[in-house]
Structure 1
Amino acid sequence: MRTIILSLTFLFAALSAWGQRQCPYCNGTGKIVKNISVSQYGINRETKVKCSECGIYYLPSTGHSHIHCSHCGGTGRMSGSSGSSRHSGETYDPDSPEGIWAKGVAMTIKYGLPYTDEEKAAVERLGKSSPTMAQLWIKYRNILNMGTSYFNEQNAKIGYRWDKVASVDIIKNGYDKQLAEIAPSLELPSDLYAIYQRLYKSYQDAYTTYRNNTNASESLQNLQNRLDDYILQQNLLY
């Protein structure tokens, strides 16, 4: 009898271990890295410091820290059946400032105007000679990025919703007005001006593509409405 009980105990322990696996998001550590901001691209002089927890070197302005992994709840293990678990003390909130920032970065990568090494270097050079102008450029390109992201995202979802050309133009005019308020004060060196031309073209192309597709969708919808009205009228006559 004792042998049977011991065998069952070992069996349950084995099944428990088999039912869990190492969390692939934190590699079993229970923690993940969180950066709450981007570096200042040379505008503010910084020296990299070494993280005492993971050993990497980082710029203090990035807000580098370690938080409980939201996928395993900080345990480092995940259930084989449920796939993930939640921890009541979870510190990551997707609606927090850093969560909103992270979603913004993801949107920029997917739909907007991601920073390149070339632009980063150009902004660093401008930041050394004119920090105010560098900040003004960042403000200007953020508006370009928001507009580009919006038009590209809406264009990607055009099959799931209907929009009006007039509405698209109103939104474009809103972005253009914000850009026009900054443009007279913006003086860019030749290297950054060439980057500006490429980014502005991407912004215009995103708008044009979405407007053209919206116009085609609107025309198709109007045609469908007329067809529906015709069918309805024919049904009323018979």
Structure 2
Amino acid sequence: MAKGECSSARKMKIGFPSTPRRSELPFAVGIPALIWQVLFFYIPLFLIVISSFLKITEVGKIEGLTFEHIRLFLTPTYLKVILSSLLLALSNACICFLIAFPLAYFLAFRGRKYRNIFLFFLIVPFWTNFLLHVYAWFYVLENQGFINNLLTNIGLISEPLRMLNSIPAIMIMMVYYYLPFMVLPLYTSLERFNYTLIEVSYDLGGSFTATFRRILLPLISRGI
């Protein structure tokens, strides 16, 4: 009797397909995004790299291979532009982190009552076009803009400050636009953080610097 039940149970197990494991589901969900990236990012990028080694005439005819574009890319002019871009990106990331971390920490641990309001104001800029943000800051930073008019009216300056077409203006715009991209991931990581670990560190004599460097920073590194 027991053998018959075991054999029937084995047949039922073979007859019905098993449900997919949870470990397989995240990969299946990410397939559409992967296909999108391959079609609209990796393939165009690959074509750009290939075309950089081709000698193409003005009418679009391919005449052969060339390394002229690579030589131009390594000239001091282009290297200076690349270095300036990297420095701007690094400075922007550091400034955004210095501003975003206290704000994300406040939202995660201290400002739960006003959390939804702050998150709403962080998300609102994404509802408008990036060019509108640029034009808005243009009118704020121009010679007759809001900042210069304010400083002139209160008597701090006698002539307008030249802020447009400068590195500080670029940094202000970049920090303004990319700050939410730093705040939201940091807030998500800090919200899941176990705050008792910090209390334990202080109870064991750990300083603020050591606690931040050895406990808090490694555990929220994914959100940076």
Say whether the fold is shared (TM-score over 0.5).
no
> What is the TM-score normalised by the length of structure 2?
0.22
More strand by share: 1
More helix by share: 2
> What is the TM-score normalised by the length of structure 1?
0.21
